[in-house]
Amino acid sequence: MICDVCKTNPATVYLTQIVDGNMKKVNLCESCSKDKGVSDPTGFALADLLLGLGETQQVEQASPAEQCPACGFTQADFKKTGRLGCSDCYATFADGLSSLLQAMHKGIKHTGKVPARLFRDLARFDRLNELKRNLEEAVTKEDYESAATIRDEIRQLESGEVDS
Amino acid sequence: MKIGPILAKRGDWLSPEGGDHPVVISSRVRLARNLSKMPFPGWAKKTERIRILDEIKPEINCLNQMKDGFSEHLNELSAVEKQVLVERHLISREHAAKGVGSAVMISSSQAISIMINEEDHLRMQAITSGLDLLKTFQMIDEVDTALEAHLDFAFDPELGYLTACPTNVGTGMRASAMVHLPGLVLGEQVNQVVNSVNKIGLAVRGLYGEGTEALGNLFQVSNQTTLGEKESQIIERLNKVIETLIQRESQARENLLATRRTTLLDQIGRAYGILTHAHSVSSKEALNLLSIMRLGIDLGFFPEGGRLIINALLMETQPAHLQHFSQQKLAAEERDYRRADIVREKLKSFPKPNNTKESGDHTADPAPESK
Ligand SMILES: [Zn+2]
Ligand SMILES: [Zn+2]
């Protein structure tokens, strides 16, 4: 078997992963596997390789944005390196990235650790959204008494946000 | 503290204090973090990387965990010193290639190491001996929690921690265990087991891979996905797989004892013979023979106490370790001589394999295949 990256040397490293029900296979030669950092298994993910094998095309096709306003990173840069320029790039190239993330991960919503500082903001954010839904419901039902109470709570929460 | 004293000490996970496990050698958890509003290291200019380093380093210095630790800029380390850190799993190969604007910080026990400006602004890892991924995660989680009070990490409510490579986004966590699977390798079942693990989104790979073989029968199992699951769920999934690997490995070893005892004894006897008498041993040969010695200890052919010696030799016979401790640059040939000297010296008081123990029926043994 021939290496998928350089297409010249015989492959000696075989990688298989099921992503989204599809089997993805990559065969690498010794030098390409080293180049791709496969020699350090902790730092390595198969998806990493896929990035270098044309899957970055998706980003190009789906993202209207050409360049990250925060750091100047372009789609071409991503295609070349498989790495992004700054944390804002995730928002800049969001459309194209989402399918890529879906293909490489278990889900597309983070459910793990949240920095303590943000945790409070997030809880408030979630509560606010809930209250706004309740408010709409109350208004539709013409339950103006409840609506007034909910509105007060929303106002309180929102002013709290300004405080912190 | 300078690098000399740190390198002279064995890491906790290779010390007598570290627990022994017949299959799992070490547990490792790494977290990737970045400062918000700053370009990732690969895209940052040199001046920006230095600014990032200057912002992060003092905060790490303040950590309790890093008291009396070691800290150095990558451009201040020699090639051999960097390589020693790679061999100890304290920095990545990629980080070893970095220079100005990158640094490494290591706790005095070597259980915690932090790379600044590797692929991400921060790569923090904890490593412990034996199997305890949850404890290992908690160790590095505490470091992260302490740092986030002072550093503004790039975080998105939907995507979690934002990393330079989309493969790490979410938890930014890579958890892994180094496992020793000589039974599965000798029993020729390892490919099948590795493939089935790879199918469930975890990666198994030879630790010192050259070609298809895994040198020293050492493998690394790690999670491949970081988004969509909690840290604890990822670890739970890994633990289940590792438990299965341990079971399969134990079965394979029992199987070898029962059906291929002579082959097994032959391998162990040869490993012992070569390591105690050879005058030139390559790094590859050392890894493979030390692995068989370790198996011999696990199976009771050598005393339990020998495991520490073997663990230490697995580390000390690697190329950069050899060069660092002999204080000179050695050509490959000289390294092989020196390696053999060290191994012979360390194994001088190592008893011969005790194969009188619960000897099985030798006639049941198939003829040992010639290699
Ligand atoms: Zn290749
Ligand atoms: Zn950007």
CB B261 within 8 A of CB B365: yes
A44 C-alpha vs ligand 1 centroid, how far in Å?
Answer: 17
Which range is most confident: A6-10, A58-62, B122-126, B238-242?
B122-126
What is the pLDDT confidence band of residue B112, given thresholds at 50, 70 and 90?
very high
Domains in chain B, CATH or no CATH each: 3-253 (3.30.590.10), 260-346 (no CATH)
Contact list, B39 vs chain A (CB under 8 Å): 71, 73, 85-86
How many angstroms separate the alpha carbon of residue A105 from the centre of ligand 1? 26
- Using 50, 70 and 90 to split pLDDT, how confident is the model at A77? confident
Q: How many CB pairs under 8 A join A and B?
A: 182
Q: Which of B272, B268, B293, B266 is nearest to B344 (CA)?
A: B272
The kind and range of the H/E element at A150 are helix A144-163
**Residue-wise pLDDT tens digits, A92-118:** 988 888 888 888 888 999 999 999 887
For testing the chain A interface, which of B92, B169, B233, B284 should be mutated: the one with the most A CBs within 10 Å?
A: B169
> Vertex A61, ends A14 and B170: CA angle to 5°?
60
H/E element, A159: helix A144-163
So what's the pLDDT on residue A18? Answer: 42
The answer to whether B351 touches B276, Cβ cutoff 8 Å, is no
Query: SS3 string of chain B?
Result: CCHHHHHHCCCHHHCCCCCCCCCEEEEEEEEEECECCCECCCCCCHHHHHHHHHHHHHHHHCCHHHCCCEEEEHHHCCHHHHHHHHHCCCCCHHHHCCCCCCEEEECCCCCEEEEECCCCCEEEEEEEECCCHHHHHHHHHHHHHHHHCCCCECEECCCEECCCCHHHCECCEEEEEEEECHHHHHCCCHHHHHHHHHCCCEEEEECCEECCEEHHHEEEEEECCCCCCCHHHHHHHHHHHHHHHHHHHHHHHHHHHHHCHHHHHHHHHHHHHHHHHCCCCCHHHHHHHHHHHHHHHHCCCCCCCHHHHHHHHHHHCCHHHHHHHCCCCCCHHHHHHHHHHHHHHHCCCCCCCCCCCCCCCHHHCCCCCCC
Question: Nearest 5°: phi and psi at B308?
Answer: -65, -40
Say yes or no for a CB contact (<8 Å) between B159 and A42: no
Residue of B nearest to A115 (CA): B148
Phi, psi of B95 (to 5 degrees): -70, -35
Residue A115's Cβ-count burial label (10 Å; 0-12, 13-18, 19+) is: buried
**pLDDT number for residue A50:** 46
A160 CA to centre of own chain: 30
Contact list in B for residue A115 (CB cut-off 8 A) is: 148, 153, 155
Mean pLDDT of B116-125: 97
Res. B79: pLDDT tops 70: yes
pLDDT at B223 over 60: yes
A14 SS3 class: strand
| Per-residue pLDDT at B32 | 98
Closest by CA to B371, choosing from B294, B266, B259, B295, is: B266
Q: Which two tokens stand for residue A65?
A: 């944005």
If one counts every other C-beta atom within 10 angstroms of the C-beta of residue B361, the result is 9
Mean pLDDT, residues A73-91: 89
pLDDT at B234: 95
Partner residues linked to A17 by β-bridges: A24
For residue B279, the model assigns a pLDDT of 98
pTM of structure: 0.80
Contacts of B343 (CB under 8 A, 6+ apart): B275, B276, B278, B281, B286, B313, B317
CB-based contact A135:A155 (threshold 8 Å): no
* Residue B101 CA to ligand 2 centre (angstroms): 20
Distance CA B329, CA B335 (A): 9
Per the CB < 8 Å rule, is B176 touching A42?
A: yes
- Average of pLDDT values for B183-207? 81
Decide if B184 contacts B190 (C-beta within 8 A). yes
B104 and B88 Cβ atoms separated by less than 8 Å: no
The ligand placed nearest to the CA atom of residue A87 is 2
Q: State residue B180's pLDDT score.
A: 93
Quote the pLDDT of residue A161. Answer: 52
d(CA B4, CA B1): 9
A41 touches chain B (CB under 8 A): yes
The pLDDT of B205-229, averaged and rounded, is 79
Structure token digits, residue B268: 């162990």
> In terms of C-beta distances under 8 Å and separation of at least 24 residues, what long-range contacts does A20-26 make, across chains too?
A20/A102, A20/A103, A24/A50, A26/A50, A26/A53
Q: For residue B360, give the nearest of B265, B269, B225 by alpha carbon.
A: B265
Measured in residues, chain B has a length of: 371
Determine the residue among B167, B179, B237 to mutate to test chain A binding: the one whose Cβ has the most chain A Cβ atoms within 10 Å. B167
Tokens of B198: 């790879």
Q: Is the pLDDT higher at A6 or at B55?
A: B55
Contact B147, B59 (CB under 8 A): yes
Angle between helices B261-277 and B231-259 (to 10 degrees): 100
Contacts of B233 (CB under 8 A, 6+ apart): none
- B209/B332 Cα distance (integer angstroms): 19
Q: What pLDDT is stored for residue B369 in this prediction?
A: 45
- State residue A36's pLDDT score: 61
Token pair, residue A16, equals 């298989």
Of A33, A100, A113, the CB nearest to B171: A113
Which neighbouring-strand residues pair with B160? Answer: B156
**Ligand sitting nearest the alpha carbon of A29:** 1
- Mean pLDDT on B340-352: 95
d(CA B122, ligand 2 centre) in Å: 18
Question: CA-CA distance, B65 to B264, in Å (whole number)?
Answer: 44
CA gap B66, B40 in Å, rounded: 24
Closest CA to B288 of B208, B345, B342: B208
Burial label for B14, CB within 10 Å (0-12, 13-18, 19+), is buried
pLDDT at A150: 92
pLDDT of residue B361: 42
Report the pLDDT value the prediction gives residue A98, as an integer from 0 to 100: 84
Around Cβ A33, how many Cβ atoms within 10 Å?
26
